[in-house]
Structure 1
Amino acid sequence: MSNELLAKAVETNTTVIGGMSGSADPTTGIHVGSEGKGGLLNPEQSARFLDYMFDATVIGKVARTVRMKSDTTEIDRIGVGEKLMKLAAEADNTGANSAVQFSKISLTTKKLRLDWELSTESLEDNIEGADLEDHIARLMATQAGNDLEDVVLNGNTSLSTDALYKSFDGVVKIAKANGHVVAGAGAAVSRDIFNKALKAMPRKYKQRRPDLRFLSGSNLIQDYLYSTSQNIQNVNPQDIASSIIRGDQGSLGGPAGFIAPFAFGIPIVEVPLLKETQTGSYASPSGEHGDIHLTFPNNVVIGIKRDVTVYRFFWPKKDSIEYTMYTRIGTQIEQADAWVVVKDVKVAS
């Protein structure tokens, strides 16, 4: 659907500007106004545009999305702790009120842009002709979604030379700084790795065990599948039974994001953009490493500023069409205490 919207933007001549208030209505078509030389999207249609930017992603599909009216917003959290009840004695007024814990997390967006251009010669000489412009717009829309997911996961402000990653810290860096970190120490992915992750998760979150998910890169999942197929001792009958009882797990709708065999009854979700080329942080590391994450998928919060702008201009002196797309986005972990990372898991060569 994002492809259709960009194609409509092409037809309007110059500019598409939309606000982001309201909710998406899947039954509403994309309206392009004829006022001036641009088209105006109403708030619901703009919301759809942002939703579809994440349509081909994995984390963007399941994360909690916050539509922001300003560059920075605060998300309130509330908790009551655990083990609040106590033994009561007859005719005894020694009770103490339990405290409610309030806290906030800050979510800040950064302005990102995507630029591309097409020369008139490329449109004239290509086998697709004028349709090439729409084709390229569709490819760029898909890549925009991939890049946004990439920075949401792997953003790192200390990487000052990386044009994308330096925008803001992604959830991997936030989780390693504030969550529960388990040292993989260069071990290969196995049931032991998943077992350590589960044991590191605080027990109060295990009350929602059916909602937990392991998140892993593609190669580590492949290594795990290969190891279980090679050694029958690595197969967990409970996981086989879980697959049969629960039935087929529905796809998350992206090019990846399928659910691999369970690890101790918890599905493993493939997230291809999780880095698996990291250098180990243990003594004398060798080879490439990745991370295994355990959390609730909606623990990832993606904040989106409510203005999306796509510009299209024809430059006579260059004889080319130039596109510029802007968006503002940020990410945060709502509850870092409910996130476990097993780092330094070695990827088989």
Structure 2
Amino acid sequence: MRNQEVINKAEMTLASLKSGGLMNPTQASTFIRMVQDTPTILNDARVIQMDHDSQKFEKIGFGQRILRAGEEGKALSTEDKAVPSTSTISLNAKEVIAEVNITYDTLENNIEKDGLQNTIMQMLAERAAVDIEELIVNGDTKSGDPFLAQINGIRKQATSHIVDAAGEELTRQIFKRGYKAVPPKYLRVPQEFRFYTSPGIEVEWKDKVADRQTNLGDAAVQGGRSSAFGVPIKGIANMQPYSTGEGEKAIDVSDVILTHPKNIVLGFSRNIRIEVDKDIRRRKFIIVLTAKLDSIFEEEDAVAKIIKVKE
């Protein structure tokens, strides 16, 4: 296939991705699934497709005992009847934008297999997922970075149960303090929770586990998933370390967040837009993706944050 034919076919394929720039509902749902399937924290989180930019979601639960001692022939009194606690969480989507450049050579390598549309969508999803993870992890409305200043991410939102490691090296005791900081009523199935931390902290823990002369130590060296007190530990690329202290006393530290993955709610507006331009001098297509999203803990009380763990 000649180069011009490749370009013409690419233009038609890109045109089919958009309708006035706005994805149709099927395309939007497919794209959101592709973003969620990318190996980031989004792969674990609960992803909600929002019908509007601002949306409220009801949450309901029983935070106390509902069973009572039964008596034959006697109904429960009014005060013994269990009433569920209800509340709402609000998501207010903020606009984010991503740009992917695809060269003519890339198109030529994929066009023959009729895989161009999937290639384009996959490239967009993979790049967007990394950026979205950065926002929902490190977002801070007081940040000097305009992108991160759009929302408060999970590091900023976790405020109820803080454990200060004060620059100590990672130990089993630090994980225990974080574990015990979460109210026991949430930790009924600890293996479903996660300790989210930086890749460096995850490696340090695997190294400590590997020092044990056990099968568990061998598995840690081979790349198996490590855990502490039954809770898996997962390194997140965007959970980057930061510096604490001054001068010669400055050290690199990081955070560890303990939560159930589905407690992290990511709201994704269905109004996803793709716009395309062509740079003939640089021989590439410029594809711009615009989306709207927000993230929040469904139950912030079920989260512990360990701060200032030495890298």
TM class by shorter chain equals 0.7 to 0.9
SS at match of 2:275: strand
Cα 1:307/1:129, change in 2 over 3 Å? closer
Q: Distance in 2 between matches of 1:84 and 1:198?
A: 26
Task: Please give the residue correspondences for 1:1-349 in structure 2 after superposition, counting only pairs within 5 Å.
Answer: 10-14=11-15, 16-17=17-18, 42-83=24-65, 96=79, 97-115=81-99, 123=104, 130-131=108-109, 139-159=123-143, 161-175=144-158, 177=159, 179-230=160-211, 232=212, 240=216, 260-276=225-241, 278-280=242-244, 286-314=250-278, 321-347=285-311
Cα offset, 1:183, TM superposition: 1.1
Q: Is the 8 A contact 2:124 2:289 kept in 1?
A: no
CA contact (8 A) 2:264 2:295 kept: yes
State the superposition RMSD in angstroms.
3.9
Tell me how far 1:62 sits from its aligned partner.
1.4
Matches of 2:23 and 2:77, distance apart in 1: 62
Q: Secondary structure at the match of 2:37?
A: coil
How many residue pairs get matched? 292
The aligned residue for residue 27 of structure 1 is: none
| Structure 2 unaligned regions, length at least 5 | 1-8
* TM-score where L is the length of structure 1: 0.71
Is the CA contact 1:17–1:308 (under 8 Å) kept in the aligned structure 2?
Answer: no
The alpha-carbon distance between structure 1 residues 42 and 84, as it changes in their structure 2 partners (threshold 3 A), is closer
2:4 corresponding residue in structure 1: none
CA deviations 1:5-29 (Å, max 9, x no partner) are xxx97543547337xxxxxxxxxxx
Task: Kindly state the Cα deviation for residue 167 of structure 1 after the two structures are TM-superposed.
Answer: 1.7
Aligned CA distance change for structure 1 residues 87 and 155 (closer, same or farther; 3 Å): same
Tell me if the contact between 1:153 and 1:274 (Cα under 8 Å) persists in the aligned partners.
Answer: yes
The whole-number CA distance in structure 1 between the counterparts of 2:44 and 2:12 is 33
Instruction: Check whether the contact 2:40–2:236 (CA below 8 A) recurs between aligned residues.
Output: yes
Q: Structure 1 116/62 Cα, relative in aligned 2: closer, same or farther at 3 Å?
A: closer
Residues 1:14 and 1:224: Cα distance change in structure 2 (over 3 Å)? same
Query: Does the CA-based 8 Å contact 1:107-1:303 persist in structure 2?
Result: yes
Deviation at 1:344, TM superposition (A): 0.8
Q: CA deviation at 1:293?
A: 1.6
Alpha-carbon distance change, 208 to 78 in structure 1, aligned in 2, over 3 angstroms: same
Post-superposition shift, 1:41?
Answer: 5.8
Structure 1: runs of 5 or more not aligned: 1-7, 19-37, 249-257
Counterpart contact for 2:93–2:293, Cα < 8 Å: yes
Question: Aligned-pair distance for 1:52?
Answer: 0.6
Q: Which amino acid aligns with 2:286?
A: E
> Against the structure 1 CA distance between its residues 80 and 142, is the aligned structure 2 distance closer, same or farther, given a 3 Å change threshold?
closer
Contact 2:21–2:274 under 8 Å retained in 1: no
Q: 1:92 to 1:150 in 2, by over 3 A?
A: closer
The ranges of structure 1 where at least 4 consecutive aligned residues each deviate by more than 6 angstroms after the TM superposition are 86-95, 132-137, 315-320
